[in-house]
A = this chain, B = another copy of it.
Amino acid sequence: MDHNDRPAIDETDVAILERVERDADVNLADLAAELDLSKSAVHYRLNKLKDADVIASVSADVDPLALGLDMVVITEVSVAHESGYADDIGQALTEIDGVFQVYYTMGDVDFIVHSRVQDRDQMNDLIDEIVTIDGVNETSSTFVMKELQTNPKTVANMSDTMIETVIDGTE
């Protein structure tokens, strides 16, 4: 084991991860053939990656647009600084329906909240809900005109350097 507690990951693991995060429905045989490995070996590694929570879950990606969720709003939230309720406020933000991402940030703004709704009414309701939270001081919302990339695939967005760091750093 190395200095940190991350599981050891090699090139083969990265190749498997890249493939299954792109399409988890791939059969073991095909995947094994692509990697010049046996089915069992791939199976073994997949289990290990799941046990180590490198693969957190396998999920169907539901297209928001197919459900009419074509409005994305970004809301900057500032809280009253004397109040030590930052944790509570963050929690309250994540629980609002429509909110899919909450960041706690350094800087003049405390939280950045991303949400997805179907129409202006829902947008107004959502922003109202945020303002109503106890301790919230000021909000500023921005409307997203176009999502150019909404691709939270982890491996696909990594550079070669990042991948090398993973392989070298956990061996």
Kindly state the separation between the CA atoms of A91 and B149 in the bound complex, as whole angstroms.
Answer: 9
What are the residues of chain B within 8 A of A155 when measuring CB–CB?
A: 62, 67
Q: Chain B: which residue is nearest A148 at the CB level?
A: B102
What are the residues of chain B within 8 A of A148 when measuring CB–CB?
A: 90-91, 93-94, 102-104, 111
| Copies of this polypeptide in the complex | 2
Which residues, 82 to 134 on A, are CB-close (under 8 Å) to B?
Answer: 90-91, 93-94, 97-107, 109, 111-112, 116-119, 122
Range for the number of chain A residues in contact with chain B:
35 or more
A64 nearest CB across to chain B (Å) = 5
A165 nearest CB across to chain B (Å) = 5
Any chain B CB within 8 A of the CB of A22? Answer: yes
A56 nearest CB across to chain B (Å) = 5
B21→A59 contact, CB < 8 A: yes
A34 nearest CB across to chain B (Å) = 15
